[in-house]
Amino acid sequence: FLYSREHQKEDTIVTVNHERIGNGDPHLIMGPCAVESYQQVREVAAVLAQKGVKLLRGGAFKPRTSPYDFQGLGLEGLEILSRVAREHNMAVVTEIMSVDQIEEAIPLVDVIQVGSRNMQNFSLLKELGQIDKPILLKRGLSATMEEFKLAAEYILSYGNKKVILCERGIRTYETATRNTLDISAVPILKQETHLPVIVDVTHSTGRKDLLAPAAKAALAIGADGIMAEVHPDPVNALSDSKQQMNLDEFEEFYSEIQPFLKRN
Ligand code: PEP
Ligand code: MN
């Protein structure tokens, strides 16, 4: 398999602007769950940029469980994200849900995220395999390691070698957390693949009190980066209002994990 260590011994480094993801230094991918307005993204990005966060996340096409929930601003959201990212010299990480969104997204996006619910959307994976853009592939809600690696293989086998894997928690019987963070996925994927591995602490735990401990554990066990959601006013957020950090909580989170952020 193209993902395997047998195929490629050395780590794949995915370059996004000037960031080299997978080079040994952990990277942070942060921002709101969904893009809601220019003002909202700008407020978050200013604080993130000040701490040296280089990758700005935000959903414009949102995969919501209910069709009646906020579905995202679509292309307008991508334009907002891209504008704010440029103002702060950050890169845009955002989810694309279907093949027909790829073309309009490409000029505005630096990393295309494949959401958990789309991990096995094989036609999407095949298309993303044929473009020259980094792909952040999230583990499916109930995907095994094998299925996760094979989803990555789809993208790689169609020619795109810039794949970042993201552990984001899986479905188990446990209800104390939103999903169960499978921390052992990190060393398993690091051993069995050469791809960068990041951990989304927001969607895996779904609990603000667990974000810093989960991030520290992820970094200690070898993750190449952490994804987490930050919103200027989480209580009134249009999605994931319970689990997004506000700006003060982000600052606290950042100082707690800071000792884990330098390796080289
Ligand atoms: C997200 O990161 O915005 C998201 C929807 O996450 P997931 O696909 O892991 O549920
Ligand atoms: Mn979210």
Tell me the pLDDT tens digit for each residue of 157-204: 999 999 999 999 999 999 999 999 999 999 999 999 999 999 999 999
Cβ of 139 below 6 Å from ligand 1: no
For ligand 2, an ion, list residues with CB under 5 A. 33, 240
Ligand 1 centroid to Cα of residue 36, in Å, is 16
Cβ of 58 below 6 Å from ligand 1: no
Residue 206 φ then ψ, to 5° = 65, 15
Question: d(Cα 227, Cα 10) in Å, to the nearest integer?
Answer: 24
pLDDT band at 262 (very low <50, low <70, confident <90, very high): confident
- The two structure tokens encoding residue 217: 């554990």
Calculate mean pLDDT across residues 141-150. Answer: 98
Q: What is the ipTM of this complex?
A: 0.99
Percent of the chain with pLDDT over 90: 99
Ligand 2 centroid to Cα of residue 71, in Å, is 12
Q: Would you tell me how many other CB atoms lie within 10 Å of the CB of residue 144? A: 11
Among 256, 228, 262, which residue's Cα sits nearest to residue 23? 262
- pLDDT at position 27, please? 98
pTM: 0.98
Question: How far is it between the farthest Cα atoms of the chain?
Answer: 48
Whether residue 173 contacts residue 182, with contact meaning beta carbons closer than 8 Å, is answered with: no
Question: d(Cα 132, Cα 188) in Å, to the nearest integer?
Answer: 27
Question: d(Cα 62, Cα 95) in Å, to the nearest integer?
Answer: 8
- pLDDT at position 151, please? 99
Question: d(Cα 239, Cα 251) in Å, to the nearest integer?
Answer: 21
* pLDDT beyond 80 at 263: no
Question: What's the length of the chain?
Answer: 264
Residues 103-142 pLDDT 10s: 999 999 999 999 999 999 999 999 999 999 999 999 999 9
Q: Choose the residue to mutate in 200, 204, 230, 244 for probing ligand 1, maximizing ligand atoms within 8 Å of C-beta.
A: 200
Cβ of 229 below 6 Å from ligand 1: no
Residue 253 φ then ψ, to 5° = -55, -45
Ligand 1 centroid to Cα of residue 115, in Å, is 5
- pLDDT at position 264, please? 60
- pLDDT at position 48, please? 98
Rg of the chain's alpha carbons, rounded to an integer? 17
Question: d(Cα 88, Cα 40) in Å, to the nearest integer?
Answer: 14
What is the average pLDDT value for the chain, to the nearest integer?
97
Q: Considering the domain 14-61+72-260, what is its CATH architecture?
A: Alpha-Beta Barrel (3.20)
Calculate mean pLDDT across residues 79-92. Answer: 98
Task: Parse the chain into domains and list their residue ranges.
Answer: 14-61+72-260
Name the residue type at position 2.
L
Residues 203-237 pLDDT 10s: 999 999 999 999 999 999 999 999 999 999 999 99
Closest residue by CA, ligand 1 atom 9: 116
Cβ of 115 below 6 Å from ligand 1: yes
